Chain A
Amino acid sequence: MQYKILPVEKIEKIRTNYIQITIKDEDFASQCNPGNFFQIKADITSQCRRLFKPISVYNIEEDSISFLIKVIGGGTRALAALKTGDKLKIYGPLGNAFPLRQDSKILMVSGGTGYPPLAFLKKRLDSSNNILFLHGGASKDDVFPCDCSYTIDGSFGNKGIVTKDIADLLKKESFDCIYSCGPVNMLKTLAQIVAPIPHYVSMEAYMACGVGVCYGCVIPTNEGYLRVCYDGPIFEAEKILWKEL
């Protein structure tokens, strides 16, 4: 884990409310595994005394690391206002990583901003696996490349939530492993549908330190409250006490 101030290599607006930021750093790029995240913020005065935002790694190509970020609040708005060459503050990589399966039939399910860590995971899973990637969002602005898309308003792909066909799918096909990331309600539903298949979820939480010292980002599990930033963000779904979330 290192702390750096790095220039933005590239920043692109993706549809109405997502941005993709790319930075170049050999150390960071070589240390990242799917599921890891960084604490990031714009290096501008107004953000100086604000918390960092935890952002999962979206893509790594050689020394470049990309983040796909939905612009939601002040911190992400400040990131979206950056231009090439502007600086951001960043530390990481943080958290644990998805266990990488081999020779497996894998179902990946993401919702909304849960897409980036799974897209990165898909790239790192080797060709011995057979992967089906489902992604859903509110509308066509929240859809990204995958095998099957869902939108709640029906503006792209299948109309409805991403979990709606999974129970039927499991009757027809068997999977060795599920990977997921997305809103809590989606994960909760998914965990019920897919149990007892091994299921790894990437959890999201409001964070302060990002390194495990403040205990601010916990989720309820059968081992007590565990830190998303340090014990996670990847958890076995069966460990999480979904009813309490």
Chain B
Amino acid sequence: MSELSTSLGKINLQSPILNASGTFGTEYFNFFQQGILGAYVTKTITLKPKIGNPPPRLYETEAGLLNAIGLQNPGLKSFLNNDLFDLREYLKIPLIVSFSGATQEEFIRMLEGLELHCGIYGYEINISCPNVENEGIAFGTNPDIVFNLVEKLARLTDRELIVKLSPNVTDIALIAQAAEAGGATSISLINTLYGMAINWETGKSRLSIPVCGYSGIGIKPVALALTYQTARAVKIPVIAMGGIHSWQDALEFFYAGASAIAIGTANFSNPLTIPEVYQGLLNFLTQRNLNLKDIIGKVN
């Protein structure tokens, strides 16, 4: 039997499949065993509660999904007092907390707060959400700002520090290198692309925020190219995501240089995507007498 285990910067994962933040919850473990998931990534939390954007927040296009959720979440305090207890109790796999901030100070305060609690294996620093103003993506598009932020955060933790990048930049390799130089232990990419849809009958935007986040099947080639460029630019592991729906899709990302992959929008169209990708990868590698680590970055 082949090995599907993989490594991030500081933690080893029994499975190379993660969930993309905001597209998954423990509810899905009604459908499959949690051990199939390498680590559980929370929905992004912010220091203060966030009400999110008004509805409508979703629109399904011909090739993927538009969303304008706007990071709705109950805030750090509520997360620490409620969700974290439940997750720690329930999960048998590593817990990774995704968080975002409006200022460097907020990011630091959040990390300091989270550091006081056990049971967290790592952080995903969301500097790439396109749906909130002056937050998330505002941090993720300038290499100097990324370096400064990550350097400060890296000093405060010994845990896995994953920096999640936006595809909405001129040169993703520069941003990834800045995160690595700052002390990130892994890179994850991609967050959603910018997208938009208009009702042609009324001329109205389909969503409450006209330019919003685009995910799912249509973004896969973009995500793959950015994974390839990033993996070649940094030495730290890359967690790749963007339109992965099948084990064949996942293989492409491993060949492109990903050490792990994440499933997001595909959870919605097929709640069994994660176990199906896992089984497909296992069968493929076993038939060829390979382990996952043998193929990472081996595109030719």
- A interface list, Cβ under 8 A from B: 1-3, 48-52, 91, 205-209, 211-220, 224-225, 244
Contact at A218–B43, with CB atoms within 8 Å?
Answer: no
Contact B52 A213 (CB under 8 A): no
For the complex with contacts A209-B23, A215-B72, 14 further pairs of A-B residues with Cβ separation under 8 Å are A3-B272, A48-B270, A49-B266, A50-B60, A51-B268, A205-B55, A208-B67, A209-B267, A213-B23, A213-B27, A217-B55, A218-B52, A218-B72, A225-B55
Residue contact A208 to B72, C-beta cutoff 8 Å: no
Q: Does B56 contact A (CB under 8 A)?
A: yes
Instruction: Specify the chain B residue showing the minimal Cβ separation from A216.
Output: B58
Residue of chain B at shortest CB distance from A91? B271
* Complex CA distance for A210 and B30, rounded to whole angstroms: 14
Are B65 and A208 touching (Cβ within 8 A)?
yes
What interface size band does chain B fall in?
Answer: 20 to 34
The interface residues of chain A lying within 8 Å CB-to-CB of B43 are: 213, 215
**B contact residues vs A (CB 8 Å cutoff):** 22-25, 27-28, 30-31, 43, 51-52, 54-60, 65, 67, 69, 72, 216-217, 245, 265-272
List residues of chain A with CB within 8 A of the CB of B72.
215, 218, 225
Contact between chains at A212 and B268 (CB < 8 Å): no
Asked, given contacts A51-B269, A206-B58, whether A214 binds B69 with beta carbons under 8 Å apart, the answer is: yes
Contacts of A216 in B (CB 8 A): 57-58, 67, 69
Judging by beta carbons under 8 Å apart, are B67 and A2 in contact?
no
Q: What residue of chain A has the Cβ atom nearest to residue B73's Cβ?
A: A215
Q: Which residues of A contact B69 (CB under 8 A)?
A: 214-216
- Residues of B near A52 (CB, < 8 A) are 268-269
Give the shortest distance, in Å, between A84 (CB) and chain B (any CB).
24
Find chain A residues with CB under 8 A from B65 CB: 51, 208
| Interchain CA distance A207-B67 in the complex, whole Å | 11
B50 to chain A, nearest CB (A): 10
Q: Check A1/B30 contact, CB under 8 A, given A209-B268, A213-B25, A214-B268.
A: yes
In the complex, A50 Cα to B216 Cα: how many Å? 10
**Chain A neighbourhood of B56, CB < 8 A:** 206
B57 A218 Cβ-Cβ under 8 A = yes
